Amino acid sequence: MPSITCFIRYQLDPFQLDAFRTYAENWGRIIPRCGGNLLGYFVPHEGTNDIAWGLISFDSLSAYENYRARLKSDDEGRQNFAMAQQMKFILREERTFLRGVEGTLHQPALSTPRAD
């Protein structure tokens, strides 16, 4: 299991959520090709309408650095970044690197007794 997860928090122009969805869907092809384990992108559904997240895991910080180097040389990746800059739907982006807590990841749901 990858040991480092890059948690990306985006502040978006809420009137351009469809553009961000396209951007995120593009990463669905690009990130795995460049060496990242894409856990997913998440867009607003209820509540706050201008915050989205992306989660990408790596075996180590050095694997992340190798991924970033491959990403910079990927034509489709460069086009996706350029589209975001041109359309200006991302207002702010923050990255945090996290480690999962052993014993809390991928835990199956347990059936609960029915209340009578």
Q: Which of 32, 23, 34, 25 is nearest to 74 (CA)?
A: 34
Which residue has better confidence, 54 or 107? Answer: 54
The reported pLDDT for the residue numbered 109 is 82
pLDDT tens-digit readout, 52-90: 999 999 999 999 999 999 999 999 999 999 999 999 999
Question: What CATH number should be reported for the domain whose range is 4-93?
Answer: 3.30.70.100
pLDDT tens-digit readout, 7-36: 999 999 999 999 999 999 999 999 999 999
Q: Which of 32, 53, 35 is nearest to 44 (CA)?
A: 53
- Contacts of residue 89, Cβ cutoff 8 Å, sequence gap at least 6: 12, 13, 16, 17, 19, 20, 23
DSSP 16: G
Q: Is the pLDDT of residue 1 over 80?
A: no
pTM: 0.85
